[in-house]
Structure 1
Amino acid sequence: MSNLPPSQWLYIPKPNPQATLKLICFPYAGGSARSFSDWQNTLPHYVELIMISMPGRGSRFSEPPADCMDILTNTLLDELTPHLNADTIFYGHSLGARVAFEIQLKIKKRGLQGPCHFIASGSANPGKDRSDKNVYLLNDADFIEELKSLNGTPPAVLENEELMALFMPVLRADFKLADTYRYTGPEQLSCNISVFAGKKDEISEQAQLDWQNYFSSNFSFEYFEGDHFFIDSHNEQVGQAVNNIIAQIHNGNLLTQVS
């Protein structure tokens, strides 16, 4: 068993103190650990899976949601620091990719050990201006229509007024994080980066390819079937791609750039 105290921010289904590699996963807006939990069954024995558990959902449903990127990432980094004692892979989907990127900037600033590989999944680059959308400011009816268009919330939830009344504050907080965050600094990170993209995602290919501008090491790009939420609709295939990266790291191979 791990000697580390439990954290409400981190869900670790199978603590592994002997792990030589840790896969740390950050969910999309409105998402949870369920997008990554099935991967536990296929990961190599030397990998520990750590999933970020956000307030306002699951076992933390009664807690107020986070809506400030700076406070959120400072808190998460404090929680993650004891776990940065081995090689790590950061995986973030959509909003989760920008949260993971911001944490990496703070890791570098604090002089801590950053990830050896970053997977930015279903996300435009962190410098893209999203302030023109401001989805979180829409009235309830328009906000729900936007959720429908994204195709990531079950219709049974969207059509249930009581459920939506419960989840609306969480979703608005997440969209506030997504719509108001933009990185404008000159910093480049040195770890390898892979970008995963859905073939039918509304995010442009270029907006995703531009992630490479924020990293100085090896870059790869891979398409998956599905829309913005391909991580859920094609979870097994994404998990296999993650395992391929893990195998390359374990074997000491570097990814080559894909244009």
Structure 2
Amino acid sequence: MTTATARPWLPGGLPETGATKLFCFPHAGASAAVYRSWTAAAGDDLVVLPVQPPGRAERGRERPHDNVEALVDDAFDGLADALTGDFAFFGHSLGALVAYLLTRRLAERGATLPRHLFVSGRAAPQLPDTRPPLRALPDDRLAAELHALGGLPDVLRREPSLLAMFLPLMRADLAVNETYRHVPGERLPVPVTAFGGDRDPRAAEDELAAWLELGTDPAMFTYAGGHFYLEDRVPELLRVMRRRLAR
């Protein structure tokens, strides 16, 4: 396995295996660690590769991106040599947007495409964003909104100094998500599966269903829960992914 320092985008390194590689892109404010439990549950036929964007964990000294095109350019350069052979993408919330746009970038460059694009917890990118933006809210209101979504760990709510360190990263990630403007393109020649919670205030069922217009062999799965419905359903999601990849 390669070292994390050699591959900053892949802190767990790149295993030498013939299994399908599942690159997992984190939600806003999160690091690659959010997929730690996925790696143990994946099994021998699927290897989970958590992706680490700049500005978090061991990349905390790097400035996080606040523009989606720059983020996707950086991800393309940082992951390009790993995106070979048999691989797929998964992204939740902001990660879904990044995974989709990176797939488009690969298609535009004539590079190897993921075998499947799995997206979760975000409205499809071609839909207008009608929700009030969060990135410029005062700290207390932003923290309250994040807590209501279930995306603010209790330790950050209890420790103002930690919250003050966290919010700039969150604001940058929110800017990536909220300033994106869709440019229509060709339907991706990649199967697309959308996942979501049936009570997610950030991705209603019809907004999830619109992802199915963007690729081939579309499918959608919804589960009881809100924006972070997936936290208790990792084995189930991975089973669905295996079935979809086996088609």
Instruction: Give the TM-score normalised by structure 1.
Output: 0.87
Name which of structure 1's ranges 189-198 and 39-48 shifts more when overlaid on structure 2: 39-48
The answer for the alignment partner of 2:165 in structure 1 is: 166
Q: Is the 8 A contact 1:130 1:180 kept in 2?
A: no
The answer for the alignment partner of 2:104 in structure 1 is: 105
Q: Are positions 1:10 and 2:10 aligned together? A: yes
Superposed, 1:211-226 pairs within 5 Å as 211-215=211-215, 217-226=216-225
- Cα distance in 2 between the residues matched to 1:195 and 1:130: 18
- Cα distance in 2 between the residues matched to 1:95 and 1:247: 25
- Cα distance in 2 between the residues matched to 1:47 and 1:204: 29
Q: Are positions 1:45 and 2:21 aligned together? A: no
CA RMSD of aligned residues (A): 2.1
The answer for the alignment partner of 1:256 in structure 2 is: none
Report Cα offsets for 1:57-76 as digits up to 9, x if no partner: 21222222111111111111
- Cα distance in 2 between the residues matched to 1:246 and 1:134: 36
Q: Are positions 1:243 and 2:242 aligned together? A: no
The answer for the alignment partner of 1:25 in structure 2 is: 24
Report Cα offsets for 1:155-188 as digits up to 9, x if no partner: 3312421111111110100111111113231321
The answer for the alignment partner of 1:204 in structure 2 is: 204
C-alpha change, 1:27 and 1:3, in structure 2 (3 Å) is: closer
Residue 136 of structure 1 aligns to a residue whose secondary structure is coil
How many residue pairs get matched? 246
C-alpha change, 1:46 and 1:2, in structure 2 (3 Å) is: farther
Show structure 1 runs of 5+ residues with no match. 254-259
Residue 218 of structure 1 aligns to a residue whose secondary structure is strand
Compute the displacement of 1:17 (Å).
1.7
Q: Is the 8 A contact 2:143 2:152 kept in 1?
A: no
Q: Is the 8 A contact 1:199 1:226 kept in 2?
A: yes
| Same amino acid, percent of matched pairs | 28
- Cα distance in 2 between the residues matched to 1:132 and 1:220: 25
The answer for the alignment partner of 2:175 in structure 1 is: 176
The answer for the alignment partner of 2:189 in structure 1 is: 190
The answer for the alignment partner of 1:140 in structure 2 is: 139
- Cα distance in 2 between the residues matched to 1:35 and 1:123: 17
Superposed, 1:248-259 pairs within 5 Å as 248-250=244-246, 253=247
- Cα distance in 1 between the residues matched to 2:244 and 2:100: 22
Compute the displacement of 1:132 (Å).
5.1
Residue 138 of structure 1 aligns to a residue whose secondary structure is coil
Name which of structure 1's ranges 45-54 and 99-108 shifts more when overlaid on structure 2: 45-54
Letter matched to residue 227 of structure 1: G
